[in-house]
Amino acid sequence: MILTFTNATLVCPVAGVSRGSLLVENGAIAATGDITVPTDARIIDLAGKMLAPALIDLGVFAVDRAACRFGGIARVGLMPDQSPVLDDPGIVRRAATSGKPDLWVHPIAAATRGLAGEDLGEMAINASAGARAVATGRSWIANAGTMRKVLAYAKGCGLAVITHAEDGGLSGGAAATEGETATRLGLPAAPAIAEALAIARDLMLAEETGSRLHFRQVTTAQGFDLIRAAKRRGVAVTCGITPAHLLLSDIAMSDFRTFAHLSPPLRAESDRQAALAAIKDGTIDVIASGHDPRGPEAKRLPFADSEPGMSGAETLLALSLGLVRDGLLPIERLFALLAANPARILGLEAGTLALGMPADLIVLDPETPWIIDADRMAARAGNTPFDGLPVQGKALRLFKGGAEIGAAAGG
């Protein structure tokens, strides 16, 4: 099929924003700008609407095709915390096909067998089965010797290591960050320094081994300072964050709202402001949804007994667009955070509008208003701390490899 988008506002993380057309041939981008439209092309006139790379959501815990369709997500990096754990080539291979035909699923294999933090996983074999990185999962590897081996082995396999940044010795059993809110609510809490301690150790190991390291979520001022300093030294480190940690502080847990029970927990307002500064200065490389849908049986419990996690895939784009409206970054840089950088970390040729890239695209109206409604979300569970929030921006159409993915209910 030959497909041409005309009268488009093209948003590319590399080339910036421009007006023109985009040509798709054989599922890939064949030309952009002022082009001659082939006579046998199907033409879609966008009337000035934005055409951008589809989102690549790095670090989801569930394959949720309907939620991804609503959110403009064409690819996900699937965390190894599945049942069974992604630590076997057969399981990895099966996970890679689990989103077809609507969604590219890129498995992230377990760094250790069963995510137990002890014996190394079969990284080379799992990579040959389709794994694009390895990860420690929802938890931190306590044994520094094991983590050093993980980093060294992953480097030999050409894989990045994705890690959870919380020292388990401090954060174990905690449901909140130490501070006024946790004290007032009487919640088991851990100091925010648990994040910085984990980051400091893993950065030193990554620097010593020369490995690529990605912190899936960094959420504290001390953590960002450590990442900045490591980048200046040339350490191959990247980090991500979710919209929740950019837009909410621990005050959102008031009234024991379990939809705000997240991992890592929400932080103090000073840390949230530090996160916004880290977005602006380029310390943060990725904005991801942290998509981890939890049903009522996991959330309708006392706060400390509820399970952490949120449904974030279909709100990722709209919440992130608020950063553009607030002047923190231009929209082309937002799509670097949402598409190009996740692709680079996973070793994918995707995430931009460059020639030859797969035609994973969204038609975007950044001004479309809607209200986040947990009861109407397309996800398998609508546990969102943003329930009832008015937002702007929606992916009107989604294309995967040049083929349009059908609309999903939600919002």
Q: Answer yes or no: are the C-beta atoms of 75 and 93 closer than 8 Å.
A: no
Q: Cis before residue 84, ω within 30 degrees of 0? A: yes
pLDDT given at position 407: 57
β-strand partners of 5: 22, 44
Dihedral, CA of residue 188, residue 193, residue 199 and residue 202, to nearest 10: -80
Cβ neighbours of 325 (radius 10 Å): 12
pLDDT given at position 1: 80
Q: How far apart are CA 136 and CA 109, in angstroms?
A: 9
120: DSSP letter:
B
- The pair phi, psi for residue 331, each rounded to 5°, is -65, -30
pLDDT given at position 409: 45
Instruction: Give me the helix-helix angle, 144-157 and 193-209, nearest 10°.
Output: 50
Could you give the count of Cα atoms lying within 13 Å of 192 in the half-sphere of its Cβ?
19
**Residues in contact with 300: Cβ distance below 8 Å, sequence separation at least 6, in sequence order:** 258, 306
48: DSSP letter:
T
SS3 at position 30: strand
- The pair phi, psi for residue 93, each rounded to 5°, is -65, -40
SS3 at position 168: helix
Spans of all domains in the chain: 54-346
The structure tokens listed for 1 are 């099929």
pLDDT given at position 90: 98
pLDDT given at position 408: 47
What topology does CATH give the domain 54-346? TIM Barrel (3.20.20)
Q: Are strands 73-78 and 161-163 parallel, antiparallel or unpaired?
A: unpaired
- Amino acid sitting at position 259: F
Tell me the average confidence (pLDDT) per consecutive run of 10 residues in the chain, 411 residues long: 96 97 97 92 96 98 96 98 97 96 97 97 97 97 98 98 97 95 96 98 98 98 98 98 98 93 97 98 98 94 95 98 97 98 98 98 97 94 95 97 76 49
